A = this chain, B = another copy of it.
Amino acid sequence: MRVGVLGSGIVGRTIAGKVASLDHEVVLGTRDVRLTTERPAGPNDAESFADWHGANAAVIVAPYAEAASHGEIVVHATNGAGALEALARAGQDNLDDKILVDVSNPLDFSAGFPPTLAVSNTDSLGEQIQRTFPRTRVVKTLNTVQAAVMVDPASVGGGDHHVFVSGDDQGAKDRVAELLRDWFGWRNVIDLGDITTSRGVEMYLPLWVRVMSAINTPVFNIKIAR
């Protein structure tokens, strides 16, 4: 199928590369293609974009709008700070009636580490996106794990842990749960309810960040033990 991935950081690259490796037609969208393709390795990117693209040559790199237009399904993987601007560039017409898989977090690093949330408690980034694009079927998921774990849950605890879906459209959530299983191998998906439940998974991030520091690795996830 045709998949658009918005965002050229580690999350967008990881998802785009994995989905393309499954023989789907993937376009990775970015604000400025030239700047992205020239981006060196940095603190958040283990390798330069060129090195990553060399190893993932099947992924086409294009402006946001082209990636959104291309996708039968679109994954939103920008850093949360520029999310609404990136989605505006992707274009409402290119997102109408489509499933938008939102894996982003509204992390605010303006005061350093640990980050705070730019929106929380009585609202969430997932809700903001759904309100801004009312004809798009937004499904929040995967934001509770690091990029490498998103596409390879079996790498953590034998895959015995949970991921969540939040959204107003039941069909869209069910479809995303199927894709999480078929693309990445997620076996345990909990449907939290409507898009307001994005608050829960986004407000978990401050705990995620502290656990990461305490156990010295971002490669973990939570299992709901009963």
Query: A residues within 8 Å of B by Cβ?
Result: 116-117, 120-122, 156-157, 160-161, 190-193, 197, 199-201, 203-204, 206-211, 213-215, 217, 219-226
- Nearest CB of chain B from residue A150's CB, rounded to whole Å: 15
17 residue pairs A–B, Cβ–Cβ below 8 Å: A116-B122, A117-B121, A120-B120, A120-B203, A156-B225, A160-B225, A192-B211, A193-B213, A199-B206, A200-B206, A200-B210, A200-B211, A215-B226, A221-B225, A222-B223, A222-B225, A223-B225
Q: How far is the CA of A200 from the CA of B223 in the complex (A)?
A: 17
A203 to B114, CA, bound (A): 14
DSSP class of A's interface residues: helix, strand, loop or mixed?
mixed
Would you call A207 and B203 a contact (CB within 8 A)?
A: yes
Smallest Cβ distance from A166 to chain B, in angstroms? 8
Selected from B122, B156, B197, B226, the residue in CB contact (under 8 A) with A226 is B156
- A169 vs B203: C-alpha distance when bound (angstroms): 26
Q: Which residues of B contact A207 (CB under 8 A)?
A: 200-201, 203-204
The docked-state distance in angstroms from the alpha carbon of A120 to that of B214 is 21
User: Which residues of B have CB within 8 Å of A226?
Assistant: 156-157, 215, 217, 219-220
Sample of 12 further A-B pairs with CB below 8 A, known A116-B122, A120-B121, A190-B211 = A120-B120, A190-B215, A192-B210, A192-B214, A197-B210, A200-B206, A200-B207, A200-B209, A203-B203, A204-B204, A211-B224, A221-B224
What residues of chain B lie closer than 8 Å to A208, measured between beta carbons?
A: 200
* Most chain B CB neighbours (cut-off 10 Å) among A156, A211, A217: A211
Most buried by B among A117, A121, A209, A217: A121
For A117, list chain B residues within 8 Å (CB): 121
Residues of B near A161 (CB, < 8 A) are 223, 225
What residues of B have a CB within 8 angstroms of the CB of A222 in the complex? 222-225
Q: Are B201's CB and A203's CB within 8 A?
A: no
Instruction: Give the distance to chain B from A219, nearest Cβ to Cβ, in Å.
Output: 7
